[in-house]
Amino acid sequence: MSQLPPNPTIETLTSEMVAKTIDHALLKPDMTIDEVVEGCRLCAKYETASVCVKPCDIKLAATVLKGSSVCVGTVIGFPHGNSLPEVKVFEALKAIDDGAVELDMVLNIGHLKSGRTDEVYEEIRSLTRAAKERLPSCCIKVIFECALLTDEEKITACRLAEDAGADYVKTSTGFVGGATIGDLQLMRAHTDPSKTHVKASGGIRSLDYLIECLQAGADRIGASATATIVEEMRARKAALSS
């Protein structure tokens, strides 16, 4: 995770800091192999925090990014979170074996909304435990899909994810709604910043909105407009210094 200044602004951030907040998303269902390779090379160029690819593309991403500072991440139970818990665990371990070091798992949204919190907790806990036994440095992010949840359900999800040992809570997949400032503030207010980070994902296409998300409590940003955002940051920093 990048070291960010308090209340980050254009003046206090650098383009390198901005890039290191970004998980560059390569998750569109029709994305070709060539597009995945191009996206990974873009991540290496800008030195993003990570690339987030579909499970079928992990080995390819790990090969392209070998020797770079960019982490390889993937999604688990994506995009709706409906896989059985043991299937999610298998998917997580296979992802690690293929080269992923960050896992963004979708929790079981329907079970959360049904009040089956023990099951949701156990699913997150079992995946987190298995992944960290396989790879102690593995980073686990739990996707809520906030657009489908009430505020009370979001708060419950924060508690469950933190208690289960997840590293991040995450707003959304990007396929249903997106990151809102209100959701980020709520998630930051109901997690311990010394234990749990917050990831904003969905609809973050400009530098200004990325910075708003950071100010609202996000530590990591899921985005596909990485080049636009980082180049805008470079241009604005250059304008400030001229």
Q: What whole-number distance in Å separates Cα of residue 224 and Cα of residue 227?
A: 8
DSSP string over 45-101: HHT-SEEEE-GGGHHHHHHHTTTSSPEEEEEESTTT--S-HHHHHHHHHHHHHHT--
Is 199 an active-site residue?
A: yes
Q: Is the pLDDT of residue 3 over 60?
A: yes
Q: Is the pLDDT of residue 201 over 90?
A: yes
Q: Which of 28, 132, 199, 237 is catalytic?
A: 199
Q: What whole-number distance in Å separates Cα of residue 42 and Cα of residue 48?
A: 9
Is 170 an active-site residue?
A: yes
* Residue pLDDT, tens place only, 155-193: 999 999 999 999 999 999 999 999 999 999 999 999 999
* Residue pLDDT, tens place only, 46-55: 999 999 999 9
pTM of the model: 0.96
Q: What whole-number distance in Å separates Cα of residue 45 and Cα of residue 35?
A: 15
Q: What whole-number distance in Å separates Cα of residue 224 and Cα of residue 209?
A: 14
Q: What whole-number distance in Å separates Cα of residue 83 and Cα of residue 67?
A: 33
* Residue pLDDT, tens place only, 63-111: 999 999 999 999 999 999 999 999 999 999 999 999 999 999 999 999 9
Helix (H, G, I), strand (E, B) or coil at 235: helix
Please name which of 57, 199, 203, 58 lies closest in space to residue 140, comparing C-alpha atoms.
199
Alpha helices, DSSP H, located in the chain: 15-19, 33-46, 58-64, 85-98, 109-113, 117-134, 151-163, 181-189, 207-215, 226-241
Superfamily designation of domain 15-241: Aldolase class I (3.20.20.70)
Write the DSSP symbol of residue 5.
P
Q: What whole-number distance in Å separates Cα of residue 236 and Cα of residue 190?
A: 34
Please name which of 6, 4, 7, 12 lies closest in space to residue 240, comparing C-alpha atoms.
12
Q: Which of 45, 59, 170, 237 is catalytic?
A: 170
Calculated CA dihedral for residues 179, 155, 173, 196, nearest 10 degrees: 90
Please name which of 239, 179, 157, 197 lies closest in space to residue 49, comparing C-alpha atoms.
197
Q: What whole-number distance in Å separates Cα of residue 139 and Cα of residue 104?
A: 8
8 Å CB contact between 217 and 34: no
